[in-house]
Homo-oligomer: A and B are copies of this chain.
Amino acid sequence: MANSFAKLSEAPSATVLEAFAAIVGRDHVSFTTGDRLAYSRDVWPRTTLQMEAGEFDYPPQLVVWPGSVEEVRAVTVEAAKHHLPVAPYGGGSGVAGGATASRGGLVLDLKRLDQVLHLDPVSNLVTAEAGIVGETLERELNRQGFTLGHFPSSLYCSTLGGWLAARSAGQLSARYGKIEDMVVSLQVALPDGRLLETLTAPHPPCGPDWNQVFVGSEGTLGVITRATLRVWPYPASRRFQAFRFPELGRGLNAIREMLQADLRPAAIRLYDPVDTFFSGTAKTMEQAGPAGASESDMERISHEERRRRERKDRFGYWPRRLVPYLLQPRLLNRYLSRKRPCKMVLTFEGEPELTALELQIAQEIGARLGGRDLGEGPARHWWEKRYKVSYAMSVAFDLGLFVDTIEVATLWDNLENLYQAMREAIAPHAFVMAHFSHAYAQGCSIYFSFGASGRTLEERLKRYDQIWKGALDACVEAGGTITHHHGVGLLKAKWLEAEEGGAQPLLKGLKQVIDPSGLLNPGKLGL
């Protein structure tokens, strides 16, 4: 604790504070201890562990909330004058430490840039400011008969800018793509105060595609202030289907065949045997609620109410009785490794006749590959509970455990290899399960969830680091991507070079061109 406050004591001078207050107004600059602690982390589980012990590694010197693009530009120019690094910050929902002032300086919170600026119902495009929260944007689109089709688990607490900076994927990515597939143009504040505004065109215009340089740049090259994105007519129909496959390989083949046969499922998720065992008990499968009557993509309950409900059935996902076993993950993993069946849930949405036909073809493929038809129930159940798991994670920490997720991706012909290699790397240290979502005709992502414990904080941190090192070493060795949609942040920077295939000098060179003094989010993406 002393340590943290020592860092926090490096407050900026009154002159510096005055300079920023002159730009954004006195109410929109803060250096209070509360704000600096609140902005010292995102939801990277490692920092959650540390926080329990009163450790805050990355408190910013100050927090600034600009209210316009002009203020963003002025703040970065001012920060440069004082050699204060700038960490752009959206919802703070990142899980890799990407939005932290890890080298001091200021956190630039963009959440006041929260307007939907234009909806073009002819060209099906929306232009919105980067700080808008996902839920707000989607509700506004729904009101006007559209959807963005982007539904990350963090929808209620993440922003458009954060999605773009970290290459976010939503739960319906099989149909609507990842955020990088949706973006048509960007407005980016460069660190020298210039503004980049790419052309809004139906397809990337000539030359290098600068949108795809700033997407995924995690705040290191510019501050994304505005984006224009594709939108879709709100789907006129939605269909659900679930299968149980006798083993993992068949389920994976079914996803692959469905996507290679031109089907466009919205969600397509296959749970590995362990995840199937936990999420797919007979009880759950039968419990599926009534026919998903909600009109919107989101339950119409408040954030607080949702949080309350989650607390009520907090032990649903990480049962308290698991705790002793999590201290002995090998035992638990060995016991569960005898499980074989895998559950798949599928949804289709869009034009009614097309979704009906696509569902029918999916049923034929599923049956041919030995899938038992579970009807709609489990898919509807998933649909209704789909934002739940993220909120359940914090409960695990209350129980003295830690949990985290690792999402990687690879080609179909390497998928089971990558899965086994990473499972073997994680299993000695943690209870581990996985599901396969975000599928493409060429391959698929694997989403590992792991949970472990340790007698002391030190032991927990050590185990946490061991798990990540083992898992990502195995991933790189097996040719997977080290992240599919959570970003690199501080957590994965070490493994980035292996993935870049010789591009790191180019990235460093481009950084030097755009941001020679290293103002923007230093330490991220290896920069």
Contacts and interface: CB of A to CB of B under 8 A. Distances in A.
Given A207-B488, A208-B216, A354 B357 contact: yes
Contacts of A512: 513
26 contacts: A120-B413, A122-B256, A123-B412, A123-B413, A124-B442, A125-B411, A184-B442, A194-B502, A194-B505, A201-B410, A202-B409, A203-B438, A205-B409, A205-B483, A206-B216, A206-B492, A208-B213, A208-B215, A210-B500, A233-B261, A261-B351, A262-B264, A262-B354, A353-B357, A357-B357, A506-B513
A205 B499 contact: yes
A180 interface: yes
A270 interface: no
A389 interface: no
A196 B506 contact: yes
Interface in A333-375: 350-351, 353-354, 357-358, 361
Interface in A476-503: 480-484, 487-488, 492, 496, 499-503
A444 interface: yes
Interface string A172-196: 0000001010001100000000111
Interface of A: 120, 122-125, 167, 178, 180, 184-185, 194-210, 212-218, 221, 230, 232-233, 256, 260-262, 264, 350-351, 353-354, 357-358, 361, 409-414, 438, 440-445, 480-484, 487-488, 492, 496, 499-503, 505-507, 509-510, 512-514, 525
A120 to B, nearest CB: 6
B216 A120 contact: no
B197 A442 contact: no
6 A-B pairs with least C-beta separation: A202-B443, A509-B513, A212-B212, A205-B481, A209-B212, A123-B411
